[in-house]
Amino acid sequence: MAAIQKTTERTMPLEKVRNIGVIAHIDAGKTTTTERILFYTGKTYKLGNIDEGTTVTDWMDQERERGITIVSAAITTFWKDHRINIIDTPGHVDFTAEVERSMRVLDGGVTVFDAEEGVQSQSETVWRQADKYHVPRLIFINKMDKLGANFKGTLEMIKERLGINPAIISYPIGAEQDFKGVVLLLEKKALYWEKDPLGIQFEEAEVPENMKAEIEEARHNLVEQICAEDETLLEKYLSGEEPTISELKTVLRKATIDYRLVPIYAGSSLRNKGVQPLLDGIIEYLPSPLEVPPVKGTDPKTEAELERKPSNDEPLSALAFKIQVDPHVGKLTYIRVYSGVLKSGRPVMNSTKKDEERIGRLLLMHADKREEITEAFAGEIVAAIGLTNTSTGDTLCDQTNPIVLESIKFPEPVISLAIEPKTKSDQEKLGNALNRLSEEDPTFKIKMNHETGQTIIAGMGELHLEILVERMRREFGVDAETGAPQVAYKETIARIAEGEGKYIHQSGGRGQYGHCWLRVEPKNRGEGYEFTSEIKGGAIPSEFVPAIEKGVKEAMENGVLAGFPMVDMKVVVFDGSFHEVDSSEIAFKIAGTQALQAATKEAGISLLEPIMKVEVTTPEDFMGTIIGDLSSRRAQILGTEVRGVARIVTALVPLAEISGYSTTLRSLSQGRASYYMEPSHYQEVPKNITEAIVAKRT
């Protein structure tokens, strides 16, 4: 019977599937909300608790010890004849890659806000990430039982900061210690979770007498909001006829999927109140794979645009969005199937790398537990074993109908440190561990400093690197020493300039000859690097142009001023000469390096440093001291605001000035202030500081 049941669930029609992510600021209650969802859907039989380290989705030892989510966990569960694939993502900015790749493959999201804190910095960042991928969302205002919880205040912040049109579906009854339940506005029904501490059972009752006027007004506003989204419904409403709940929900669903309205739910995950209405909302208002636009890609041969509809009958198209090294089965590749059917034991094409791969086994993931399956259908999120060359962002497709889907872009690392093995026996293991971890995490970079012989690792923050070094020790048995964190500076140019590179080497017999002229042009911050050729009349044969670019790239990676990588510039090769016999690729590569160095020196090189957006939450008594300390760190104070009894100071601070800030902040505030930091942008380093950095490096 169990096998038949499993088959029925596996072949569930696509309109009954939801691929959702739970996203928010750190500590807003994402993981607790996910745990409650799993408990109420019958996936778990015991409530997981972060403080006790018993959560399902935070399954890594470090996640349980630190009480934070590090890797996004995928889990499948069922609610009211629907299948929900949930990805619980990290809230900490150091693990932004996990959020970015999850957004790319989700159809809908649940954004969790803290009812006291409201819209925090990372909430805003993940909201914008979801906007980028057009992910429809519901909002869950969590922690309604917390001291200082303010439902209306949080709603105002949501409107103001996120610029959205919130539609209140479940309205809280009371707040702080008086929070008892919610009112479902459309049904005019109050739900109480007073008698069952686990929150499985709830009672339906009339709306409390003292809230009737408030609820009536809120419902009236909601009905007006929904009717304004549909002409037929609006006409009916304006003529005095009340639309049915079914009609209102149908229009609200469409408006949610089109990002015109965002349904709002209230509750307290930790106190087990308000989660079931949220589950109903996931089913009622978030899209199935059939309701999102067909996925777009390009033909690898012709570059023509292609699209694939979410159907099992279409040719296979799937995106590898995450690699995980599993101690038991090796490399796990998480895959979102957009169209067609992915079958275990069958060859597929990796169109990104133009390579054939074979799916060994397919698994349906339940966080760290798994269930083996033989095929994955359109709209599913599964894990595959046996893919050797596939990395994050690669497309897997049908060999006879190739397509390359848009890959996933990740931010550049902002901090680095030197790492070396403690013993000789750790040397080989270190290389293996670093490669495996960089396969998993696209924001973790490794490079060798050939001058010092050091291995340098780079990532998104101190916590990011600290956790990776700890994972090396625990998962790969590598003991390593690390140096002090180093800021990831970059070099760039100030103006347009030209430079010549000429490499002539004669040593008897055939010589070497390469000669080129380059023009360098500055680009805007974050626009990256571009190389083009304007060679006319065969001044340089076309086969030598790639060699020039290779030399240019090498020179840019090694930097010209102080050895930091060069960014945000366009390089144009526009003239040069060659020798019929002596010209070679290596000669033109060296000429390219020389020309770039000459041109950039002529253009004027400046140093760029990463600037962090810092948000400090402090009692009022310490605000002046904290602002003074930030100002001494070259900070630009953006503003202050009152949030409950706390004061929030927002500033832009150079990363170089804020290393180890948590210790200073604790001592300045008697341990009562906290801060949150995320990368903002790169900007030019002041001249006097540039000189000091260059002097230290040369």
To the nearest 10°, the Cα dihedral for 248, 253, 259, 264?
A: 70
Query: 530-562, pLDDT tens digit by residue?
Result: 999 999 888 999 999 999 999 999 999 989 998
Whether residue 143 is found in the same domain as residue 15: yes
Residue 239 falls inside a structural domain: no
The residue among 43, 67, 5 whose CA lies nearest residue 279 is: 43
User: Quick check: helix, strand or coil at residue 22?
Assistant: strand
Whether residue 131 is found in the same domain as residue 42: yes
Q: What is the pLDDT, as a whole number, of residue 279?
A: 93
CB burial class (10 A; 0-12, 13-18, 19+) of residue 507?
Answer: exposed
Other beta carbons within 10 Å of 550: 16
Task: List, in sequence order, every residue forming a beta bridge with 420; answer none if it has no partner.
Answer: 481
The residue among 96, 168, 185, 124 whose CA lies nearest residue 460 is: 96
Q: What are phi and psi of 656, to 5 degrees?
A: -60, -25
Q: What is the pLDDT, as a whole number, of residue 516?
A: 96
CA 679/CA 459 separation, integer angstroms: 12
Q: What is the pLDDT, as a whole number, of residue 1?
A: 23
CB burial class (10 A; 0-12, 13-18, 19+) of residue 227?
Answer: buried
Whether residue 368 is found in the same domain as residue 272: no
Q: What is the pLDDT, as a whole number, of residue 332?
A: 81
Residue 221 falls inside a structural domain: no
Query: 47-60, pLDDT tens digit by residue?
Result: 444 344 444 343 34
Whether residue 283 is found in the same domain as residue 204: yes
Q: What is the pLDDT, as a whole number, of residue 478?
A: 84
Q: Which residue do the tokens 């840019």 mark?
A: 556
Enter the pTM of the model. 0.69
Q: Which amino acid is at 243?
A: P
Q: Which amino acid is at 180?
A: K
Helix axes 545-558, 585-603, angle to 10 degrees: 50
Q: Which amino acid is at 417?
A: L
Low-confidence ranges of the chain (pLDDT < 70): 1-11, 25-26, 43-74, 88-101, 121-122, 326-329, 366-369, 449-453, 507-509, 644, 698
Whether residue 72 is found in the same domain as residue 196: yes
Domain boundary pick from 603, 618, 643: 603
Say how many domains are in the chain: 5
Residue 458 falls inside a structural domain: yes
End-to-end CA distance of the chain: 73
Whether residue 440 is found in the same domain as residue 479: yes
∠ CA 161-655-29 to the nearest 5 degrees?
45
The residue among 561, 546, 584, 595 whose CA lies nearest residue 690 is: 561
CA 95/CA 23 separation, integer angstroms: 12
CB burial class (10 A; 0-12, 13-18, 19+) of residue 523?
Answer: middle
Instruction: Residue 659: give its domain's CATH number.
Output: 3.30.70.240
Domain boundary pick from 243, 269, 291: 291
Whether residue 113 is found in the same domain as residue 179: yes
Q: What is the CA radius of gyration of the chain?
A: 28
Tell how strand 108-114 and strand 17-24 pair up: parallel
Residue 243 falls inside a structural domain: no
Whether residue 311 is found in the same domain as residue 363: yes
Whether residue 338 is found in the same domain as residue 421: no
445 and 464 Cβ atoms separated by less than 8 Å: no
Domain of 665, in residue numbers: 608-697
Whether residue 21 is found in the same domain as residue 135: yes
Residue 429 falls inside a structural domain: yes
Domain boundary pick from 385, 405, 425: 405
Whether residue 612 is found in the same domain as residue 645: yes
Other beta carbons within 10 Å of 35: 27
The stretches of 106-211 forming alpha helices (DSSP H) are 121-132, 151-162
The residue among 417, 416, 418, 422 whose CA lies nearest residue 478 is: 422
Task: List, in sequence order, every residue forming a beta bridge with 531; answer none if it has no partner.
Answer: 571
The residue among 327, 291, 370 whose CA lies nearest residue 74 is: 370
Instruction: Residue 454: give its domain's CATH number.
Output: 3.30.70.870
Residue 223 falls inside a structural domain: no
Residue 103 falls inside a structural domain: yes
Whether residue 265 is found in the same domain as residue 199: yes
Instruction: Residue 322: give its domain's CATH number.
Output: 2.40.30.10
